A and B are shown apart, each in its own frame.
Chain A
Amino acid sequence: MHPLFASRARLGAYLLGWAPIVGLLAALGTLQGWTWAEALVLALGLGLFGAFLFPTAWYLCRALPLEPSRGVGAHAPAWIIAAVLMGGLWTGFARFLAWSLQNLPGLHQLPIRIAPAMPVLAGLGILLYLAVLTLHYLMAAMERSRNAERVEQELRVLARDAELKALRAQLNPHFLFNSLNSISALTTRDPGRARDMCVLLSDFLRKSLKLGEHTSVKLSEELDLLRNYLAIEQIRFGARLAIQWEISPEAERADIPALLLQPLVENAIKHGIAQLPEGGTIRLRAALTAGRVELRVENPVDPDAPEPQGLGMGLRHVKQRLQGRFGNQAWVEAAIREGQYRVDLCFPVETP
């Protein structure tokens, strides 16, 4: 669809743009000593003809799109040929108009009038065509940038979608199946505890689904989820899993990206506690210093385990999410020191 005819407002504006040109043509005619009637008829006819003929420039504009790499000069010959052709058509139409209207009263002199004006009309036609062509290139450029914007918008939506998917994927199936297995063991040995564990597991699932709906949550909410999660893991691991909380009260009120700590604590269990026959203590620290949230997850690791190669998936997601949101205002650090694996996160407090 031709962009000018795609919207009524745009077509109106375009035709309105031709009004001063018609006026100019008429004025030029009267300056040459034409009568008002002659000048007006010719100007109107030529204006209308031009207004509908010249938008064929759209096809030229589509066939020869502007490419920054090739420069403007590459298309110049085609443009000039098209402009000369259109100028010729335009003046031809002027002649035809004059000839066909000469029998009307007061217009019989038209053919004689326009004969000397032909070169000027031709030049004017060429210039007008070039102007309309430029207009079309501008419209094409606008269209392209609008498209680019829409694509970018779609990409942003996709990225957000990917983030949600990543969050959902963090609900580790291993954890679920192992928990269900613990419940299965407890049903005959200790039905009361089996029921407790069912409740804990349901609470955990409900909370993580709820937190996953938000982009940001209070740290206290995230910690609540972690307490729930760790209570389940403590039933599984028994005395092998101990937890130490060092949470400052100010930090609890801070907003953080939802489910940020969950994958890190899960890693601490999977790669730390679960790999150690005697287990160990997971230390969770949260503090608020100078407008920045500082979080730390620390766990013992098996000294014989191979050094982790780069960041694990969970940690990489955490890093991407923080960088996506805070740019270089956030940093993530992971290191093993004296048998302890430690992840530090630091990012600005979000003000709701």
Chain B
Amino acid sequence: MKALIVDDEDLARAVVREHLATHPDIEIVAECANGFEAVKAAAQHQPDLVFLDIQMPRLDGFEVLELLEADGQRPAVVFVTAYDQHALRAFEAQAVDYLLKPFSKERFEAALAKARALRGSRPAATQLAAENRQGRPLARIVVKDGTKVTVIPLDRLDWVQAQDDYVLLRTEGKNLLKQQTLASLEAQLDPARFIRIHRSFILNLDRLAKVEQDGKEHREAVLRDGARLPVSRAGYQRLRELWEEA
């Protein structure tokens, strides 16, 4: 069994390593100190088991899990975290095991046994991540393109376009594709900042310069950089509601 240890603290990794030493059937294929490394190492080694910290630089544990899933990987995951009531509630609801730092040898063995048993029948990472946010809007989007991971802070996201099962994310003059539906992304975004202006478009309100009308029912959003996006009647209605509230 191949295992991956992901934690930004050297000492925290050491504890897991030490406990795993008594299990000769488990091979530690890599130790990673941040989310980027974890995604890279997972792609390279295809681990069966991941010990995953939650608060880490670059990508947090949930984002790592989301990217692994997008990559088609389904390792058994044991979260290792210091203290996070909200996250804990999410784990409990989802029956994914977790270890609270510091933990005993017995607790570690129990989690390991559970993880072996739960292998491959883990709930969707995106759902878990959404529960962890407890209804708070998303702060950034992670996209994996081949081996490259891009993090898009939402203040740098201009607009999003639906493309079948994918969304096209427009950020800093670049287009990035991510496998997700527009509706599910819309549900994660802050509705005061991101507006569904069209069946196929979500717009970052900060980017909007004006709405132009040509013809009776045809409207276009003109963005600050000059780009134009279609605005549907329902989308226009949503924009007007926002303006009236403001």
B101's partner among A178, A188, A237 (CB-CB below 8 A) is A178
Answer whether A238 and B10 are a contact pair too, CB < 8 Å, given A188-B18, A274-B57.
yes
Answer whether A275 and B83 are a contact pair too, CB < 8 Å, given A177-B101, A181-B11, A184-B15.
no
Contact partners of A305 in chain B: CB under 8 A? 140, 153
Complex CA distance for A307 and B153, rounded to whole angstroms: 8
B15 engages A185 (CB within 8 Å): yes
Does B185 sit at the interface, judged by CB under 8 A?
Answer: no
Does B154 sit at the interface, judged by CB under 8 A?
Answer: yes
Interface residues on B, range: 20 to 34
Task: Considering the complex, give the chain B residue whose CB is closest to the CB of A180.
Answer: B102
B153 engages A182 (CB within 8 Å): no
Contact partners of B10 in chain A: CB under 8 A? 238
B57 engages A277 (CB within 8 Å): yes
Does A95 sit at the interface, judged by CB under 8 A?
Answer: no
- Closest CB-CB distance, B19 to chain A, in whole Å? 10
B70-105, CB < 8 A from A = 82-83, 100-103
Complex CA distance for A10 and B36, rounded to whole angstroms: 80
Q: Give B37-69 as 1s and 0s: 1 = Cβ < 8 Å from A's Cβ atoms.
A: 100000000000000000101100000000000
Does A236 sit at the interface, judged by CB under 8 A?
Answer: yes
Complex CA distance for A236 and B12, rounded to whole angstroms: 9
Task: Considering the complex, give the chain B residue whose CB is closest to the CB of A235.
Answer: B11
Contact partners of B102 in chain A: CB under 8 A? 177, 180-181, 183-184
Most buried by B among A185, A236, A237, A305: A185
B58 engages A277 (CB within 8 Å): yes
A182 engages B100 (CB within 8 Å): no
Interface residues on A, range: 20 to 34
B57 engages A178 (CB within 8 Å): no
- Closest CB-CB distance, B75 to chain A, in whole Å? 22
- Closest CB-CB distance, A183 to chain B, in whole Å? 7
B57 engages A276 (CB within 8 Å): yes
Answer whether A182 and B9 are a contact pair too, CB < 8 Å, given A277-B33, A277-B34.
yes
Complex CA distance for A224 and B11, rounded to whole angstroms: 25
Contact partners of A221 in chain B: CB under 8 A? none
Contact partners of A178 in chain B: CB under 8 A? 9, 12, 82, 101
Does A352 sit at the interface, judged by CB under 8 A?
Answer: no
Complex CA distance for A275 and B57, rounded to whole angstroms: 4
Does B234 sit at the interface, judged by CB under 8 A?
Answer: no
Complex CA distance for A178 and B9, rounded to whole angstroms: 9
Does B8 sit at the interface, judged by CB under 8 A?
Answer: yes
B83 engages A274 (CB within 8 Å): no
Contact partners of B140 in chain A: CB under 8 A? 304-306
Contact partners of A235 in chain B: CB under 8 A? 11
A277 engages B8 (CB within 8 Å): yes
Complex CA distance for A178 and B36, rounded to whole angstroms: 22
Contact partners of A188 in chain B: CB under 8 A? 18
Does B187 sit at the interface, judged by CB under 8 A?
Answer: no
A181 engages B15 (CB within 8 Å): yes
Q: Could you list some 11 contacts between A and B, CB below 8 A?
A: A180-B101, A183-B102, A184-B103, A189-B14, A189-B18, A238-B10, A274-B55, A274-B57, A275-B57, A305-B153, A306-B140
Q: Which 6 A-B pairs have the closest CB atoms?
A: A181-B101, A184-B102, A185-B11, A177-B82, A306-B153, A181-B102
Given A177-B101, A182-B11, A304-B140, 7 more A-B residue pairs with CB atoms under 8 Å apart are A183-B102, A184-B102, A184-B103, A185-B12, A185-B18, A188-B18, A235-B11
What residues make up the interface of A, taking CB atoms closer than 8 Å to B? 173-174, 177-178, 180-186, 188-189, 235-238, 274-277, 302, 304-307
